[in-house]
Structure 1
């Protein structure tokens, strides 16, 4: 019988291992963007290097994207199914709550296209908004 977590990994050409399945499960169960330390804490006693390598593999294969939210630690969030390795199709705004310090993906809020002078080459675009999330503002 097929396992949805395994199917998700196999669809991205990622070999399912116990750690990869655990990390994917955590990311699916906790939809906010999470740092390496967050994932470790949610998993309990695990090898930090293995978790780091797992997140790197997930990023390289287009399963997750890195979010630099200004908190000092890179965070990781699941990508939309249309994302390809190295070319994310879900270019959206991220929101960092200054109260609870949680970073959320806002997939329905697109990053606007910005026209740059011809000599500039964009390799990555990111937009992080900061304030109070809906839970903390209410």
Structure 2
């Protein structure tokens, strides 16, 4: 287990449990976002509902963010350590590779500010770029 897993949970106000430690440890080793199904397979044998509830707890406490990459299943990736819920400000571009089907966070590529017409109120924003990742371009 990577050092600091329990401390990261506690810093977000999440009580460390064996499952939460396991899920956070696995997520922290990923280079790309991961689906519930992929996480479940990697941690087998685990209860799917428990893993889902763990991810929802992490999302509610701004430890992970869900990504809709158009594949029909949400993918999850860790938020930056300074992410919080006032409002959740982990607003960066995501990239989905059409060859390997991986979805990557591009944390240095922020979603540009968007001016909405009067009377419109933003609740959520995402930007997904589709193409071929650097690994598949070689």
Category of TM-score, reference length = shorter chain = over 0.9
Paired position in structure 2 for 1:57? 57
TM alignment of 1:29-44, pairs within 5 A: 29-44=29-44
Q: How many residues align?
A: 136
Q: Structure 1-normalised TM-score?
A: 0.95
Query: Which range is displaced more, 127-136 or 27-36?
Result: 27-36
The runs of at least 4 consecutive aligned structure 1 residues that moved more than 3 Å come to: none
**Cα distance in 1 between the residues matched to 2:37 and 2:123:** 27
Gap regions ≥5 residues in structure 1: none
Find the residue that maps to 1:15 and give its secondary structure: coil
TM alignment of 1:80-119, pairs within 5 A: 80-85=80-85, 87-119=87-119
1:90 Cα offset (Å): 2.4
TM alignment of 1:6-25, pairs within 5 A: 6-25=6-25
Give the superposed CA RMSD.
1.1
Q: Structure 2-normalised TM-score?
A: 0.95
CA contact (8 A) 1:32 1:103 kept: yes
Provide, for residues 41-72 of structure 1, a one-character-per-residue CA deviation record: whole Å limited to 9, x for no partner.
11121100000000000000010011011010
Paired position in structure 1 for 2:124? 124
**Cα distance in 1 between the residues matched to 2:54 and 2:85:** 15
Gap regions ≥5 residues in structure 2: none
